[in-house]
A and B are shown apart, each in its own frame.
Chain A
Amino acid sequence: MSHGDLSFMSTLTDPPKEQFRLSMLVNDTRYRSLTFQAIAALVLALAIWYLGNNLIQNLRAAGLNISYDFLGDRSGYDINQRLIEYDSQSSHASAALVGILNTLLVAVLACITATIFGVIAGVLRLSNNWLVSKLMAVYVEIFRNIPVLIWIIIIFTIMTAVMPGAKAYLGENPERELLFGLFAFTNRGIYAPAPVWNDGSMIVVAVFFVSIFAMFAYRRYAKKLLFDTGKLLPMGWPSLAILILPTVLIFFLLGQPIGLDAPDPLANRFNLRGGIQIGAPLIALWFALSIYTGAFIAENVRAGIQAISKGQFEAAAALGLRPGRVMNLVVLPQALRVIIPPLISNFLNITKNSSLAIAVGYADITATLGGVTLNQTGRAIECVLLLMLFYLTASLLISMGMNFYNASVKLKER
Chain B
Amino acid sequence: MKNTVILGALTIAGLSAGAAAAGTLDDVKARGKLNCGVTTGLVGFAAPNASGEWEGFDVAVCRAVAAAVLGDATAVEFVPTTGKTRFTALASGEIDVLARNTTWTFSRDVDLKFEFTGVNYYDGQGFMVPKELGVSSAKELDGATVCIQTGTTTELNLADFFRSNNISYEPVPIETNAEAQQQYLAGACDVYTTDASGLAATRATFEAPDEHALLPEIISKEPLGPLVRHGDHEWGDVVRWTLNALISAEELGVTSANLAEMAAGTNNPEINRLLGTEGNLGEMLGLSADWGKNAIAAGGNYGEVFANNIGEATPIGLARGLNAQWTKGGLLYSPPFR
Do A and B contact each other directly (Cβ–Cβ < 8 Å)?
yes
**Contact partner of A188 among B113, B145, B151, CB < 8 A?**
B145
> What separation, in Å, do the CA atoms of A374 and B87 have in the docked complex?
10
Q: Is A174 an interface residue (CB 8 A)?
A: no
**Contact partner of A64 among B91, B107, B159, CB < 8 A?**
B91
- B87, A378: Cβ atoms closer than 8 Å: yes
Known: A76-B155, A76-B160. A380 touches B187 (CB 8 A): no
**Nearest A-chain residue to B157, judged by Cβ:** A76
Known: A375-B151, A378-B108. A270 touches B159 (CB 8 A): no
Q: Is A77 an interface residue (CB 8 A)?
A: yes
- B92, A361: Cβ atoms closer than 8 Å: no
Q: Is A257 an interface residue (CB 8 A)?
A: no
- A78, B145: Cβ atoms closer than 8 Å: no
- B144, A271: Cβ atoms closer than 8 Å: yes
A341-368: which residues lie under 8 A (CB-CB) from chain B? 358-359, 361, 363, 367
B164-192: which residues lie under 8 A (CB-CB) from chain A? 169-175, 182-183, 186-190
**Nearest A-chain residue to B191, judged by Cβ:** A270
- A361, B173: Cβ atoms closer than 8 Å: yes
> What separation, in Å, do the CA atoms of A380 and B89 have in the docked complex?
11
Q: Is B142 an interface residue (CB 8 A)?
A: yes
Known: A361-B174, A372-B150. A271 touches B155 (CB 8 A): no
- Kindly supply a per-residue 1/0 record for chain A positions 247-283, scoring 1 wherever the CB is within 8 Å of any chain B CB and 0 otherwise: 0000000000000000000011111010000011100
Chain A residues with Cβ below 8 Å from B141 are 270
- A76, B186: Cβ atoms closer than 8 Å: no
Q: Is A4 an interface residue (CB 8 A)?
A: no
Q: Is A127 an interface residue (CB 8 A)?
A: no
- Kindly supply a per-residue 1/0 record for chain B positions 242-273, scoring 1 wherever the CB is within 8 Å of any chain A CB and 0 otherwise: 00000000000000000000000000000000
Most buried by B among A88, A268, A361: A361
**Contact partner of B87 among A43, A279, A380, CB < 8 A?**
A380
- Kindly supply a per-residue 1/0 record for chain A positions 123-159, scoring 1 wherever the CB is within 8 Å of any chain B CB and 0 otherwise: 0000000000000000000000000000000000100
- B111, A62: Cβ atoms closer than 8 Å: no
> What separation, in Å, do the CA atoms of A77 and B174 have in the docked complex?
14
- B172, A281: Cβ atoms closer than 8 Å: yes
- A380, B160: Cβ atoms closer than 8 Å: no
A78 CB to nearest B CB, Å: 5
- B186, A88: Cβ atoms closer than 8 Å: no
Q: Is A167 an interface residue (CB 8 A)?
A: yes
- B190, A270: Cβ atoms closer than 8 Å: yes
B1-41: which residues lie under 8 A (CB-CB) from chain A? 1
- A76, B156: Cβ atoms closer than 8 Å: yes
Compute the total of residue contacts between A and B using a CB distance below 8 Å. 114
Q: Is A161 an interface residue (CB 8 A)?
A: yes
Q: Is A371 an interface residue (CB 8 A)?
A: yes
**Contact partner of A375 among B84, B142, B144, CB < 8 A?**
B84
A189 CB to nearest B CB, Å: 9
Chain B residues with Cβ below 8 Å from A374 are 84
Q: Is A113 an interface residue (CB 8 A)?
A: no
Most buried by B among A62, A79, A87, A367: A62
A29 CB to nearest B CB, Å: 21
A150 CB to nearest B CB, Å: 14
- B171, A78: Cβ atoms closer than 8 Å: yes
**Nearest B-chain residue to A267, judged by Cβ:** B143
**Nearest A-chain residue to B183, judged by Cβ:** A160
- Kindly supply a per-residue 1/0 record for chain B positions 135-158, scoring 1 wherever the CB is within 8 Å of any chain A CB and 0 otherwise: 000000111110000111101101
Chain B residues with Cβ below 8 Å from A78 are 155, 158-159, 162, 169, 171
Q: Is A11 an interface residue (CB 8 A)?
A: no
- A80, B143: Cβ atoms closer than 8 Å: no
Q: Is B221 an interface residue (CB 8 A)?
A: no
Chain B residues with Cβ below 8 Å from A267 are 143
**Contact partner of B145 among A270, A367, A371, CB < 8 A?**
A270
- A378, B151: Cβ atoms closer than 8 Å: no
Chain A residues with Cβ below 8 Å from B174 are 361
A29-61: which residues lie under 8 A (CB-CB) from chain B? 43, 58
> What separation, in Å, do the CA atoms of A85 and B183 have in the docked complex?
27
Known: A62-B113, A63-B113, A76-B160. A372 touches B155 (CB 8 A): yes
Q: Is B231 an interface residue (CB 8 A)?
A: yes
Q: Is A290 an interface residue (CB 8 A)?
A: no
> What separation, in Å, do the CA atoms of A378 and B84 have in the docked complex?
8
Q: Is A165 an interface residue (CB 8 A)?
A: yes
Most buried by B among A43, A157, A270, A358: A270
Q: Is A376 an interface residue (CB 8 A)?
A: yes
B187 CB to nearest A CB, Å: 3
Q: Is B83 an interface residue (CB 8 A)?
A: yes
**Contact partner of A270 among B143, B151, B183, CB < 8 A?**
B143
- B182, A88: Cβ atoms closer than 8 Å: no
Chain A residues with Cβ below 8 Å from B175 are 358-359, 361
**Contact partner of B142 among A62, A76, A268, A280, CB < 8 A?**
A268
- A367, B188: Cβ atoms closer than 8 Å: no
Chain A residues with Cβ below 8 Å from B63 are none
A186-204: which residues lie under 8 A (CB-CB) from chain B? 187-188
Q: Is B212 an interface residue (CB 8 A)?
A: no
Q: Is A166 an interface residue (CB 8 A)?
A: yes
> What separation, in Å, do the CA atoms of A80 and B158 have in the docked complex?
13
- A selection of 12 A-B contacts at a CB cut-off of 8 Å is A62-B113, A76-B160, A88-B159, A165-B186, A165-B187, A270-B141, A271-B170, A361-B150, A372-B150, A375-B83, A375-B150, A380-B87
B residues bordering A, Cβ < 8 Å?
1, 83-84, 87-88, 91-92, 107-108, 111-113, 133, 141-145, 150-153, 155-156, 158-160, 162-163, 169-175, 182-183, 186-190, 229-231
Question: Which 3 pairs, one residue from A and one from B, show the smallest C-beta to C-beta distance?
Answer: A165-B187, A88-B159, A268-B143
Extra contacts besides A164-B187, A271-B145 (10): CB < 8 Å = A64-B113, A89-B163, A157-B182, A160-B188, A187-B188, A270-B133, A271-B190, A372-B150, A378-B107, A380-B88
